[in-house]
């Protein structure tokens, strides 16, 4: 009786074993299934990271993730991104290209000319200015031209003057013309000519046979009176300046060209001239002289441009704006639009299109700039397309960071 409970317990255990075996058998697959869900296998085709590059485009890479000095994460570079493309080339999707508004233009040989701009004023041409200063003492009896600015023509009488010396010279010529002394008439005639007596006055003297009380003083050029000192009734001395005249059929524009642009200006160049008095009109002038000295106050050099002025519309002292197209190279040079250059301050980079959605940041060495283009001395070749516009290029300081950040490949 004492062993009955033990036997019963053993029997119960044995009876339970078969059931327990079946439960274990049924639980094993479940456990295996649960284990499969907890640790899934790695998918095939995972992208392999080759290295990590600096997000700013600096020549620095790392085999492990890291941050730069500004706290920006290094960008992973995948194996499929560099397969078959140049090192450093980044790829973006076509829809992102369109969204960013990317435009490209091929580097090409082109003549470069810089536009030199300067301010100036209209002035009479100095060689076309004359003064009227008679060679004898006289009194002004009749004044025909009595207004400054009055136009005159060559040979027009400015005034009628009485000169005792001229009257005496006429009488001497008339006496010598009688032929009493050989050669005397020629000497008396030459005296009248030396006193600037007009030839028609001398012819009238021969015909009249009598000395004239007054002689006409005439204009030596066609132009305008720029200054008048003659007054009716006044007495003047020989050599005294009575009129200043200027021929304005051609005029100068005296332009103040800044020191850094003087080397681009040469005699014979043509220039566009715009005057405040005639908005919308453009006049063409030619460089005729470059001053050998510089104005120290504003660091400019005077440049003379000659303009035709047949109608007299260009008046002295008018203000003008001058534009000269100055070639910066003797022959066409390889150039790209200046908007294509991303300048970090220490280096210059352009983004070269390597294929659809592929852009290679490439350092370049630059030359002169002119009219929206910049000469490329090294880095690209003719025909290669460079990015010239994208709406994320905000300013010169952030161009490189924005460009390389925007074109970074995303895993």
List all residues 6 or more positions away from 119 whose beta carbon is below 8 Å from its beta carbon: 255, 256, 319, 320, 321, 322
* Domain coordinates in residue numbering, the chain: 86-112+331-406, 134-240, 250-327
Strand pairing partners for 385?
106
Secondary structure (3-state) at 206: helix
Query: Residue holding tokens 């010279």?
Result: 169
User: pLDDT tens per residue, the chain (411 residues)?
Assistant: 444 443 333 333 334 334 444 433 433 343 333 333 433 443 445 778 878 877 776 667 788 898 888 888 888 877 665 555 555 566 666 776 676 777 889 999 998 888 899 999 999 999 999 999 999 999 999 999 999 999 999 999 999 999 999 999 999 999 888 766 667 888 899 999 999 998 999 999 999 989 999 999 999 999 999 999 999 999 999 999 999 999 999 999 999 999 989 988 999 999 999 999 999 999 999 999 999 999 999 999 999 999 999 999 999 999 999 999 888 777 889 999 988 888 877 888 888 888 777 778 888 999 888 888 999 999 999 999 988 876 344 233 334 444 445 554 444
Which residue intervals of 310-398 are DSSP H helices?
none
The Cα-based distances of 109 to 104, 294, 353, 382 in angstroms read: 16, 36, 18, 7
Distance CA 81, CA 87 (A): 10
Secondary element (H or E) of residue 166: helix 164-176
Q: Which CATH architecture has domain 86-112+331-406?
A: Beta Barrel (2.40)
Residue 358 Cα to chain centre, angstroms: 34
Residues counted in the chain: 411
- Pairing relationship of beta strands 348-355 and 358-370 according to DSSP bridges: antiparallel
Do 6 and 14 contact (CB within 8 A), yes or no? no
Mention the CATH class of domain 250-327: mainly beta
- Among 275, 242, 16, 8, smallest CA distance to 130 is for 242
User: What's 365's DSSP letter?
Assistant: E
* 338's tokens: 């200046």
Query: Residue holding tokens 């204009």?
Result: 219
Distance CA 289, CA 305 (A): 7
Secondary structure (3-state) at 68: coil
Rg over alpha carbons for the chain, rounded to the nearest Å, is 48
Mark 113-130 as b/e (b = at least 16 C-beta within 10 Å). bbebebebebbbbeebbb
């Amino acid at each position: 009786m004492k062993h009955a409970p033990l036997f019963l317990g053993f029997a119960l255990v044995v009876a339970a074993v078969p059931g327990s075996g079946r439960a274990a058998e049924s639980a094993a697959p479940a456990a295996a299934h649960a284990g499969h869900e907890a640790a899934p296998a790695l998918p095939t085709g995972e992208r392999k990271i080759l290295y990590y590059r600096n997000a700013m485009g600096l020549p620095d890479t790392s085999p492990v993730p890291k941050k730069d000095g500004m706290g920006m994460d290094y960008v992973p570079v995948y194996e499929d991104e560099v397969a078959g493309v140049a090192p450093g080339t980044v790829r973006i999707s076509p829809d992102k290209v369109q969204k960013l508004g990317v435009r490209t233009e091929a580097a090409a040989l082109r003549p470069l000319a810089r536009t030199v701009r300067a301010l100036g004023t209209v002035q009479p041409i100095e060689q076309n200015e004359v003064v009227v200063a008679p060679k004898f003492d006289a009194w002004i009896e009749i004044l025909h031209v009595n207004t400054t600015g009055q136009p005159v023509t060559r040979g027009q009488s400015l005034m009628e003057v009485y000169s005792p010396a001229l009257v005496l010279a006429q009488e001497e010529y008339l006496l010598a013309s009688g032929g009493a002394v050989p050669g005397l008439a020629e000497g008396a005639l030459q005296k009248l000519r030396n006193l600037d007596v007009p030839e028609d006055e001398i012819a009238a003297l021969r015909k009249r046979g009598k000395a004239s009380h007054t002689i006409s003083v005439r204009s030596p050029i066609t132009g305008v009176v720029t200054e008048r000192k003659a007054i009716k009734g006044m007495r003047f001395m020989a050599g005294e300046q009575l009129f200043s005249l200027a021929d304005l059929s051609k005029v100068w524009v005296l332009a103040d060209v800044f020191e850094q642009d003087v080397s681009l200006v040469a005699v014979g160049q043509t220039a566009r001239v715009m005057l405040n008095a005639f908005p919308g009109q453009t006049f063409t002038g030619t460089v005729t002289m470059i001053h050998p000295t510089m104005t120290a106050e504003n660091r400019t050099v005077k440049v003379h441009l000659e303009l035709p002025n047949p109608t007299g519309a260009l008046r002295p002292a008018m203000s003008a704006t001058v534009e000269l197209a100055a070639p910066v190279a003797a022959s066409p040079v390889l150039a790209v639009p200046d908007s294509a250059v991303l300048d970090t301050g220490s280096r210059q980079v352009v983004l070269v299109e390597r294929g659809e959605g592929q852009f290679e940041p490439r350092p370049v060495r630059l030359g002169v700039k002119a009219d929206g283009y910049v000469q490329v001395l090294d880095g690209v070749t003719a025909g290669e397309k460079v990015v010239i516009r994208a709406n994320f290029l905000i300013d010169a300081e952030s161009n490189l960071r924005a460009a390389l950040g925007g074109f970074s490949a995303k895993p």
